[in-house]
Structure 1
């Protein structure tokens, strides 16, 4: 007997919820969003009567619905590496670096310091993207973890898209990351 839960994924185009949409390809932001997730943040995944929030939890939920796809990795160490990536991408790259540029008001109530916060965010983004470029190059497979597509890869894609809006010539500084995006067959 196969169990197919009812899913509803609430997302915002171009936001950090994009990787979840790539994996699930369902859902949309609706007026009921605030009543479903009082945090007022995406992503949110509703599985039957359960509401799941936060990027790593939503990606894990979606991945667990198709275990044969190995979206959380093919081995214990790959699963650990997937979570290592997801946590770092969520906290440092997304929340800290990108947040300091696009949601500066979350870091200070003083608009006079916003330019300094944004500049530090750009510095952090450059450091993070250099590290991403180096880490993706390590296995030489075109994937972030192991030799296959995992929940990390769509997250990297959305972060690449965001960074390319800030850094016009990403190919020069981050060729491996840009190649991952250009050659992605997924």
Structure 2
């Protein structure tokens, strides 16, 4: 497998999950600052010009949630999706919230051009990020973390996803000291060999 990623982006969640699953992969770093993701060569891999993209035997897969589910499916022995249906749904509840809300809140800081043409609108959106990300932290604290990890004591796909999103909080203007559960979650994840491996590789 080849994982196309950019450091400190959500694509790092895929690397963490691959490490948790014990799967071999080749990381392929994209130069986002240089706009490599917008060039024709990469657009042939992912026409959306975004990361992650994962090259597998069956073709090329994109979208964070889909790649995480693929990893869990090809490495079921890693137990990254719980067998109990309600717990599996709770895991996906957090993942879908991250994709639909919290990641979008973060993107308003630098990607306002996706939603508006006027630069004044971009500044207005960027100015809201600290508030919306703080509100997302409140939600995650109250409804997303059921213990050290999303599902309590057991690591799942949602933890890789949430960890990367939570690594952006200081840069988004969030007072993380107000969220001890998130701090404890980050500490628990940083103790895991998977996170240590991707950090050593310069992905975080």
Same fold (TM over 0.5): yes
CA distance in 2, matches of 1:87, 1:167: 23
Does structure 1 retain, via aligned residues, the 8 Å contact 2:5–2:29?
Answer: yes
Task: Report if aligned partners of 2:108, 2:125 keep a CA contact under 8 Å in 1.
Answer: yes
Instruction: Say whether 1:151 aligns with 2:145.
Output: no
Post-superposition CA distance 1:56-97 (Å, at most 9, x none): 100001111211222122311121112211111011111x20
Match of residue 76, structure 1, among 85, 89, 103: 85
User: Where does residue 3 of structure 1 map in the other structure?
Assistant: none
Q: Which residue in the other structure is 1:99 paired with?
A: 107
Q: Match for residue 116 of structure 1?
A: 124
Q: Does 1:160 align with 2:166?
A: yes
Give the one of 152, 160, 183 matched to 1:178.
183
Contact 2:91 / 2:158 at 8 angstroms: preserved in 1?
A: yes
Partner SS for 2:8: coil
Mapped to 2, the partners of 1:167 and 1:120 lie a distance apart of: 10
Residue 6 of structure 2 contacts residue 29 of structure 2 at CA under 8 Å; is this kept in 1? yes
Residue 128, structure 1, aligned to residue 136, structure 2: yes
Q: Distance in 2 between matches of 1:149 and 1:76?
A: 16
Contact kept? 1:19, 1:155, Cα under 8 Å: yes
Unaligned stretches of 5+ in structure 1? 1-6
Could you list the per-position Cα deviations for residues 29-61 of structure 1 after superposition, in whole angstroms to 9, with x for gaps in the alignment? 357432111111111111113211111100001
Instruction: Give the TM-score normalised by structure 2.
Output: 0.79
Which is bigger in relative contact order (C-alpha 8 A, separation at least 6)? 2
Confirm or deny: 8 A CA contact 1:72 1:150 kept in the other structure. yes
**For residues 114 and 18 of structure 2, what CA distance do their matches in structure 1 show?**
30
Gaps of 5+ in 2: 20-24, 31-35, 193-204
CA distance, structure 2, for counterparts of residue 56 and residue 136 of structure 1: 16
Bigger Cα displacement from structure 2, 161-170 vs 149-158: 161-170
Moved over 3 A (4+): 29-32
